[in-house]
Amino acid sequence: MKKILFTLILTPTLLFAQREEMIKKIYDHQLTKSPVYENLRYLCKEIGPRLSGSPQAAAAVEYTRQLMMDYGFDTVYLQPVMVPHWVRGKKEVTRVTNSDIYGSFELNSIALGNSIGTGPEGVHAEIIEVKSIEEVNELGKKVKDKIVFFNGEMDPTKINTFAAYGGAVLQRAYGASEAGKFGAKAVIIRSMTNRRDDIPHTGSLVYKPMMPKIPAVAISTNDADRLSRILQDQDGLKVFVQTQCEMKEDVLSYNVIGEIRGSESPEEYIVVGGHLDSWDVGEGAHDDGGGTMMSIEVGRTFKELGIQPKHTIRVVMFMNEENGLRGGKEYARVAQEKGEKHIAGLESDSGSFGPRGFSSLGSDEKRAKVQSWAPYFRPYMVWDFESIGSGADISPLAEQDVFLMEMEPNPQKYFNYHHTEADVFESVDKRELEMSAATLTSMVYLIDQEGL
């Protein structure tokens, strides 16, 4: 009995010490010898923004394929997927034309992704302000022939800014259809950010089936506040909107997949990734250049430190998260078709700020197991394993009952940059990116070693 007791107590302790040591190696390696920051610089500065269907998206496919080859991944291949090809065209113009006080003046604006354009002639109409989709539905036909200005704010008292985003983003996603069905001519959306500044935020809209498609732009929060103030004092305020964006034919693109083959259960996969596409403004540094580069680090770090995974680690650069999710859907479709067994899917798509934890989506049992690993991460100031959630690209795997996780950084600053010209390489801190890469790698390591 004594001996058995001894074993029972000692083994977990020894195992813990082993895991702990390897995790320290992973963090030490990232914080001293990681190429992740330089790789992100290349992606942002030498390739740049990479909207689905663009030449830069193709360059990013080739760049990450080569990276994973160079790092000695066991298999690297492209998974074809047809993606939307939306182009912005000439710079947008959004102009108030008849303010009693200010006369005619321009607003900082940007067309929403997937929007139709107004064409060169533009749209010129009276503007009407609402705070929500519900309000448009109450107004009904009163919005006919008008431009509807959705001015709902992100709730600043929500500590998790992603929750505030979730509470406001429906305007951006569906506002055009909801206003269009009552005969509105265009929509203007308040940018999705807590900040007051002059930077307009793009992002995708979705035209609902069988509803009229009308053009949509976002304006900066400062301009939204100003417009709202003017509207309080003046009836019949008119705005001119000119956008020359258009949706072209779908284009062949790819998810880029790299594998480190498992030694014990090579037919069981742990997938980890981010999305390679970005918006066409800024450089997609936080969204989601950092996520892709740190996912590649998972595989590279395993190779570099000689960690032989039991399961096959599959690093995926998903294509087209921003305006279609085609890559994520195709990945899940192929996995199902092939009957592949995924034991977990992990994503990093909430920015490259300092990591604070992981959200997860799956059985209580598996969530509890992941939460029991918190002590491994606490020395690295990663502490939050409670939230329920996953990432967009891996979300189609939920139907196959795959346990999903997303790495969660500190969220306060994400919407300073999201979908804007400000999302550039310089906004990412080297140490925070390295800490993120180490955290993601350590979690994949634990899942691989401990199972789920």
Strand partners, 345: 271, 404
- Distance CA(367)–CA(376), nearest Å, equals 16
Confirm or reject binding of residue 208 to its own copies (CB under 8 A).
Answer: no
> What is the total count of residues that contact its own copies (CB under 8 A)?
28
Residues ≥6 apart with Cβ < 8 Å to 69: 76
- Count H helices and E strands in the chain, helices first: 12, 15
Tell me the window of 72-80, 139-147, 362-370, 410-418 that interacts with its own copies (CB under 8 A).
410-418
The 10 Å Cβ neighbour count of residue 385 is 21
By beta-carbon proximity to its own copies, the closer residue of 33 and 91 is 33
Query: Which residues ranging from 14 to 43 are in contact with its own copies (CB under 8 A)?
Result: 27-28, 31-32
Active-site hit among 321, 347, 408, 434? 321
As measured in angstroms, the least distance from the Cβ of 353 to its own copies is: 9
What does DSSP say about strands 103-106 and 109-111: parallel, antiparallel, or unpaired?
unpaired
Helices in 325-363 by DSSP H: which ranges? 326-337
Tell me, yes or no, if 304 is annotated catalytic.
no
- Distance CA(277)–CA(275), nearest Å, equals 6
* 300: Cα separation from own chain's centroid: 22
By beta-carbon proximity to its own copies, the closer residue of 42 and 380 is 380
* Site pattern 141..180 for its own copies (x: CB under 8 A): ---------------xx-xxx-------------------
Residue recorded with tokens 């994503």: 347
* Site pattern 70..89 for its own copies (x: CB under 8 A): --------------------
As measured in angstroms, the least distance from the Cβ of 409 to its own copies is: 10
The 10 Å Cβ neighbour count of residue 100 is 10
Query: Which residues ranging from 416 to 445 are in contact with its own copies (CB under 8 A)?
Result: 416, 429-432, 435
User: Which of 413, 421, 450, 451 touches its own copies by CB under 8 A?
Assistant: 413
Query: Which residues ranging from 273 to 292 are in contact with its own copies (CB under 8 A)?
Result: none
Residues ≥6 apart with Cβ < 8 Å to 76: 65, 68, 69, 256, 257, 258, 259
Tokens (6 digits) for 123? 């749209």
Query: Which residues ranging from 362 to 381 are in contact with its own copies (CB under 8 A)?
Result: 379-381
Q: Which amino acid is at 406?
A: E
- Distance CA(324)–CA(289), nearest Å, equals 18
* Site pattern 176..205 for its own copies (x: CB under 8 A): ------------------xx----------
Residues with a catalytic annotation lie at 321
Positions that interact with its own copies (CB under 8 A): 27-28, 31-32, 156-157, 159-161, 194-195, 354, 356, 379-381, 383-384, 410-413, 416, 429-432, 435
